[in-house]
Amino acid sequence: MLSEESTDFAMQTAALKNSLIALGLNENEAAVYMAALSTGASTVLNIARAADIKRTTTYTVIESLMSKGLMRIDVQGFKRRYSAEPPEKLSAILEERQALFSKILPELNALHRLQGEESLIKFYQGKDGTKEVYEGLLRDVRSGEDYLVVSDQSLWYGLDPEFFEGFMRRRAKLKINIRLLLIDNPIAREYQKKQHVYNEEIRILPKTTALTTNLVVIPKKVVIHQVVPPIFAMVIENKSVVQMCQELFRVIWDTAQADS
């Protein structure tokens, strides 16, 4: 039967071990570190016995503790001994955890702000994938809604003239508000002259503007379409992102060049 002193010691040892685990060590690391603290500079065999862990396992655990800065090798003549670093070294683990927490905190806050919202991001590769994205835009936009575009019309249209010509004609038949902000080039100017044909209202961006992506905003989603290789599209369904893009579009629209 264990004495009261032995029972108290066992409880204290278990509590210390649990505290080390809470600080970030695993169960074996906590046991080996405590054993090394109590044995001083010692062999792997002695540490393994004190920790009640297999010697082969103890080698691996010691290497892990050394990588954390909690153990070191002492060479005494031709003999190697393993020693625990002072417990103050554990503060480095806390500092590392604090640094990690500080790094991920903005992302956690972003997730928190999205609570209650349906948020979805999808990626589509290649011309065929991006064509499906545009078909989805026509399916999702509703009568009376805004269809907002920022684009280099020549690059966008040039990806597949036959498809995008048909797309524009089908889009023109929808009872939606189509507004385009286009890079200033001859093709954009030509489309601006016949904007009524496609049920569009077009304004021209400043000559210094250069884009290799096409942006489309409808109330349900935002599409970012890279129109130079590698061709891909990213679809974002998030109310906050949609609202931000709508507001930015309106600001630029109010300063862009209308019919010349």
Model pLDDT, residue 101 = 81
Domain with 137, as residue range(s), is 120-255
Model pLDDT, residue 169 = 94
Model pLDDT, residue 213 = 94
The answer on 128 and 60 residing in a single domain is no
Number of domains in the chain: 2
The answer on 249 and 135 residing in a single domain is yes
Is this prediction's pTM over 0.75?
Answer: no
Task: With respect to residue 21, please indicate whether it lies within any of the assigned structural domains.
Answer: yes
The answer on 126 and 180 residing in a single domain is yes
Model pLDDT, residue 2 = 46
Task: With respect to residue 64, please indicate whether it lies within any of the assigned structural domains.
Answer: yes
The answer on 125 and 214 residing in a single domain is yes
Profile the chain (260 residues) by mean pLDDT over runs of 10 residues: 58 82 88 89 90 91 90 82 87 82 78 62 92 95 96 92 94 95 91 90 91 95 94 92 95 80
- DSSP-derived pairing of the beta strands 146-151 and 177-182: parallel
The answer on 226 and 138 residing in a single domain is yes
- CATH number reported for the structural domain that contains residue 231 in this entry: 3.30.870.10
